[in-house]
Amino acid sequence: MKEIMNRILKKEPVFYKNPAALDDPSGYLGKLDIGFDDIVDAEQRLGRFAPLVSMLFPETKDGIIESPFIKADNFREKVYPGMKGGLYFKLDSHLEVAGSIKARGGIYEVLKVTEDILIRNNLLDYNDDYSVIAGDSIRKFLSGFTVSVASTGNLGLSIGIMAAKLGYNSRVHMSRDAKQWKKDRLTAGGVTMVEHDGDFTYAAAMGRREAGTGNNIHFVDDERSCNLFLGYAVSALRIKGDLKKHGIEPTREKPLVLYLPCGVGGAPGGIAFGFKHAFGERVKCYLAEPVSSPSMLLGVMTGRFGQLNVNDYGLDNKTELDGLAVASPSDFVSPMMEFLCDGFFTVRDEKMFEYLYLLKETEGIGIEPSAAAGIPGPGITGLWDRDVFHIVWTTGGLFVPGDIYDKMYFRGKRAYEDSRD
Ligand SMILES: Cc1ncc(COP(=O)(O)O)c(C=O)c1O
């Protein structure tokens, strides 16, 4: 423990195998306030909204926002020669509407809130065709409400765009880490942006404070929201079709192994929660953070959970992996990760640019740097030579503008070539 702490403080990449992780999580999961039925309920709600989503975003497939799942043989050969077990990528980087994993939780929460408001006001019935929500009268009604959120960029994109599209007054409190192109995209989508010269924890505190002073304002609280969490968890039900298509039948001996980029923890935590429910002992989950922001790792390792701030350990939370620039983990999610997460690892920024480049070269897939954090997982956990189903979750990138992507690509190419010299 002391040795690993020294390495964390020196910003060296580490792997921490979680000693409290449960092989069989069923007893623990059974004691939580939320359970499998809530994930099914969320999935059904997304189904009710599909006609509306399809109308508002015709680029989605029948109004269901879901990502591709691929077997990455070329990448495997290049990066992990000799690897045992198949290497797969779950491309949440390519989720429509928001272009990141945040499309799962963020959009789910906006839809859930909308259903609650409309049913409460007798403007909707569960049996209605939800495309009525796009009609003028409901849009006008929703314009009397505000949906707000704090974000490092991607959650803002998902919630901001969906809320504005439904007619809400949509506000995003941006941390200083957010990239300019994400802010520009939001402004173009009719979202009001409040820029903060502080980190995500600060922006979240400001958003929460503002919401506390107003009426008809719903603040999506990334540090505490159960709705966001359930939206991510639905992925565990949806993946069953992907697994079937690829002939993947996980067992206790040959499990699914997920490598998930982690910021505040809602997205990877919700996915881990969903998968532990759906696959029990047949899945292992590993969370990835930048070396300068290992807030979930430290929060769980020290037992301080959401009270922890990496700044207290002399770490600056400055990283080019903008989506993962979070100094304090979610207080709601981190205590669950003590039992549901099998391990944590940290990654260096520069290496992520190399992976961004290599993924394009080998598989033709474009991602943003944060989205690459899971890629070193099989190596750093030492599982690369185990015959398991390695599933790397890439989490953002679809909407990165071409010129910005090219710069990152060439940066990665240079870094890769230099590392070969
Ligand atoms: C690209 C990307 N990956 C992963 C994450 C991590 O999600 P969370 O903050 O819920 O842990 C984020 C968060 O914004 C992100 O933008």
pLDDT attached to residue 55: 97
pLDDT attached to residue 420: 85
CA distance 120 to 132: 16
Of all protein residues, the one whose alpha carbon is nearest to atom 9 of ligand 1 is 263
pLDDT attached to residue 214: 82
Cβ of 270 below 6 Å from ligand 1: no
Measured in angstroms, how far is the CA atom of residue 119 from the centroid of ligand 1? Answer: 31
pLDDT attached to residue 2: 87
- Outline which parts of the chain fall under CATH 3.40.50.1100: 2-99+228-420, 102-227
pLDDT attached to residue 45: 98
371 CA: nearest ligand 1 atom = 1
Structural contact between residues 16 and 342, judged by C-beta atoms closer than 8 angstroms? no
pLDDT attached to residue 369: 98
Measured in angstroms, how far is the CA atom of residue 267 from the centroid of ligand 1? Answer: 6
Query: For 2-99+228-420, CATH number?
Result: 3.40.50.1100
pLDDT attached to residue 61: 84
10-residue mean pLDDT profile of the chain (421 residues): values are: 94 98 98 98 98 97 96 97 96 97 98 98 97 97 97 96 97 94 95 95 94 92 95 98 98 98 98 98 98 98 98 97 96 98 98 98 98 98 97 98 98 95 80
In CATH, what class is 102-227?
Answer: alpha beta
Cβ of 268 below 6 Å from ligand 1: yes
Nearest Cα neighbor of 229 from 278, 264, 281 is 264
105 CA: nearest ligand 1 atom = 10
pLDDT attached to residue 215: 86
DSSP 87-149: EEEEEGGG-TTTSBTHHHHHHHHHHHHHHHHHHHTTS--TTS-GGGGGSHHHHHHHTTSEEEE
Measured in angstroms, how far is the CA atom of residue 262 from the centroid of ligand 1? Answer: 6
261 CA: nearest ligand 1 atom = 4
pLDDT in tens, 289-322: 999 999 999 999 999 999 999 999 999 999 999 9
Angular region, 122: left φ>0, alpha ψ -120 to 50, beta rest: left
DSSP 172-206: EEE-TT--HHHHHHHHHTT-EEEE-SS-HHHHHHH
pLDDT attached to residue 92: 98
270 CA: nearest ligand 1 atom = 10
